[in-house]
Amino acid sequence: MPTDPIRMRAGEDGRLIVHVPYSPDHVAKIKTVVGRRWHQQEKHWTVPRTDRTIAQVLALFPGEPVEVDSALRSVRPLDHQEVPDGSMSHHPVAAWPGLLDQVRQAIRTRHYSFRTEEAYIGWIRRFVQFNHKRDPAEMGAAEVSRFLTLLAVDRQVAASTQNQALAAILFLYKDVLDRDFGWLDDVVRAKRPQRLPVVLSQQEVHALLSALNGVPWIMGTLLYGAGLRLMECLRLRVKDVDFGRGEVIVREGKGAKDRVTMLPSAIVSRLTAHLERVRTLHAADLAAGFGRVGLPDALARKYPHADREWGWQWVFPASTISADPRTGERRRHHLHESVPQRAIREARRRIGIAKPVGPHTLRHCFATHLLEAGYDIRTVQELLGHSDVRTTMIYTHVLNRGGRGVQSPADRLLSGVGDSC
């Protein structure tokens, strides 16, 4: 038996460092902790820093010497828990809802967006509840497949929704439970149907933008004139709009990639006036004790006063102060996506466009109209931020020259005939 004590101390990134003297029994026990990781170079384990996890580790080694960092000594071991068959477990199973706390911790360590965090938490909660709150470590491919079948067959969700649920479950097993089962990569993903994007003519885009006013007009013109995604537009910071170079810098777009696109000259005067109003609003927020904006990743710790600076403020701030869903701090967030969505939907209805139109339609129009104007597809790919040119190629199918740019044989055969009928 090992004679050295088991030591626990605080680590970085919300984790605990656990030194366990080697023995097959000790290794088997520590591997039961949800979210544990082995660090080969440092020769120690780390586990999520939650009260429940600390208690689980303490409960694993009764009667053995354990040295605990003074900051952690207020936590007591958990009592043994009942497992479904009524027998006593030698170690606690994955906590519920403590498991979700560990999922949130893993997501935030990887700097995923809040939208991704909420989506993953929601799908993992549904998956565990669907399986009667069983410990996910005890489940496998059969349970995952049954859950995805429920979504596809009974609920009839879209393929993209099914794949998002699968991504959340895979994240749970690989990144939280640290279980690299062979079946994880064999789970079949739903095949998304390939649909052609809805594209408006230039005349229809002009009519749509003319039906917008104020901030929705500025946003709509940026979506069409710079090819931005809706959330890229909403998350623009003042410093990312370069009037001198006529550029817009998109930070951490889809796939966490930065890119540069053009700033339409037609928008400069209205955007400049809009930013002056935003600056006045920011000054009023500072005077009222607010004015701190959320910063990406660890910049808030590295530059503690940057969140008050003008350059970091949102180009499109919300009209009211609200609580940050992660920290609870009251601040002015960026405009909610429902504002431009509703404005574009109402504008489409007013001018009588029959096609389904949303903010992303304007990005489709940006790409298609550039290709129609003769711009190189690689240039369009770069402006859109596509990783693969095949994604951009979809817009060659909707150019304003008929199907695939081919003239119909009926047009050649019946040229001039229709006029005489």
At 298, the pLDDT band (50, 70, 90 cuts) reads low
Look up residue 298 and give its amino acid: A
404: left (phi over 0), alpha (psi -120 to 50) or beta: left
- Identify the pLDDT of residue 59: 79
128 vs 142: CA distance, rounded Å? 13
pLDDT of 419 over the 60 cut: no
At 157, the pLDDT band (50, 70, 90 cuts) reads confident
Q: Are 186 and 141 in contact (CB under 8 A)?
A: yes
Compute, in degrees rounded to 10, the torsion defined by CA atoms 73, 79, 84, 87. 140
Please report, rounded to a whole number, the percentage of residues in the chain having pLDDT higher than 70. 82
Q: What are phi and psi of 241, to 5 degrees?
A: -105, 110
Cα dist from 247 to 221, 241, 257, 371, whole Å? 14, 6, 16, 20
**pTM of the entire predicted model:** 0.65
Q: What are phi and psi of 7, to 5 degrees?
A: -120, 135
- Identify the pLDDT of residue 230: 94
H or E stretch including 48?
Answer: strand 44-48
Q: Are 101 and 14 in contact (CB under 8 A)?
A: no
Active site residues: 229, 254, 360, 363, 386, 395
Mean per-residue pLDDT for 153-169? 83
Q: Using one digit for the tens of pLDDT, what is the confidence trace for 172-205?
A: 988 888 776 666 566 666 666 677 888 999 999 9
H or E stretch including 9?
Answer: strand 6-10
Q: Using one digit for the tens of pLDDT, what is the confidence trace for 371-411?
A: 988 898 999 999 998 988 888 888 877 665 554 556 667 76
- Identify the pLDDT of residue 350: 95
- Identify the pLDDT of residue 366: 94
Q: Using one digit for the tens of pLDDT, what is the confidence trace for 34-93?
A: 778 888 878 888 888 777 777 778 878 877 887 877 656 544 443 333 333 333 333 333
- Distance between first and last Cα of the chain: 100
Rg (CA), the chain: 28
129 vs 136: CA distance, rounded Å? 10
pLDDT of 260 over the 50 cut: yes
Which of 75-89, 120-134, 219-233, 272-286 is predicted with the least confidence, judged by mean pLDDT?
75-89
Q: Could you say which of 3.40.50.1980, 2.60.40.420, 1.10.150.130, 1.10.3720.10 is the CATH number of the domain covering 98-185?
A: 1.10.150.130
Q: Is the peptide bond before 136 cis (omega within 30 degrees of 0)?
A: no
Residue with tokens 């208690």: 55
